[in-house]
Amino acid sequence: MADHTKDFVDVPGGYLYYEQHGRGPDVVLLGGGLADLRMWDSTVEWLAERARVTTWDYRDTGLSAPAYGPYSEIDDLAAVMDAAGVSQAVLVGVSEGGRRALGFAHAHPERVTRVCAVAGSFGEFPDPSPEETAAREVMRRHFAECERVQAADGIPAVSALDVDAWCPAAPPNARRLLIGLQIANARMRLMPEYHGLELNPPIKTRFDELKPPISIFIGNRDFQATQLWAHRLATQAPNATLTTVPTADHMPMFSTPNEFRDYVLAALPT
């Protein structure tokens, strides 16, 4: 395969857009829920010098098809990997992408060399501790404020509010990029129902069943709930390591790029 590929793959009910750059061990990048593969441009610049990097747009984002009915998140990733010629890979998933990567690793452990779960987002805690309950309440207040601002001031305003809450350490141009991606993918905010189906029962209840090694990254400037999820994963997964960076936020490829680069390169097969 050439050093740079852009293509679409058909999936039940739609199609997915993906790109592939570089040569070397396979790495598949899974982005945050309101972004698209453009969030990875700065990562691909250095990672493609060491690996063959596949990025892709989820349904309802970027150049991929909108979803009008249920589909499998796990099957979509498998379809992209098959089309891109990736039999086994390191999966790097940030935020929502961390959940998706872990779900795929549970369903297809033979196809996953390692999962890099970066600021993984899993929603409500099962059997929460008092600390976890309090942390989720902070997030629920943020989501309620997002709904209020969206109704009053529209998508650009809520996009800025959301990015500033999740990514307080992002430099100015990264902030502009992330706001722009949220605006471009506003369909995700406006949909009455999200159609993607995850692992069932969900991966957040099955960390102890994961077989591939897990490298976890969390920043102290992220939401407390996200930090607590990282610690849950590190405690429950059988083969997990935790990297904590005090100055990193939810998107460390922008807030602490050097530390993020070191973390990802350490996960590549030797």
CATH of the domain at 253: 3.40.50.1820
pLDDT for the residue numbered 248: 98
Give a yes or no: residue 45 inside a domain.
yes
The helix (run of H) or strand (run of E) holding residue 254 is helix 252-255
Give a yes or no: residue 209 inside a domain.
yes
Terminal Cα-to-Cα distance of the chain (whole angstroms): 22
pLDDT for the residue numbered 1: 40
pTM over the 0.85 mark:
yes
Residues 6+ apart with CB under 8 A from 119: 94, 95, 98, 217, 218, 219, 222, 226, 230, 250, 251, 252
Which structure tokens are listed for 187?
């369909």
Give a yes or no: residue 245 inside a domain.
yes
pLDDT for the residue numbered 110: 98
Give a yes or no: residue 199 inside a domain.
yes
Give a yes or no: residue 72 inside a domain.
yes
C-alpha span between 263 and 91 (Å, rounded): 13
Give a yes or no: residue 65 inside a domain.
yes
Which structure tokens are listed for 208?
């102890």
pLDDT by residue, tens only, the chain of 270 residues: 458 899 999 999 999 999 999 999 999 999 997 999 999 999 999 999 999 999 999 999 999 999 999 999 999 999 999 999 999 999 999 999 999 999 999 999 999 999 999 999 999 999 999 999 999 999 999 999 999 999 999 999 999 999 999 999 999 999 999 999 999 999 999 999 999 999 999 999 999 999 999 999 999 999 999 999 999 999 999 999 999 999 999 999 999 999 999 999 999 998
Count of domains for the chain: 1
Give a yes or no: residue 183 inside a domain.
no
The whole domain housing 10 covers: 4-128+192-267
Give a yes or no: residue 63 inside a domain.
yes
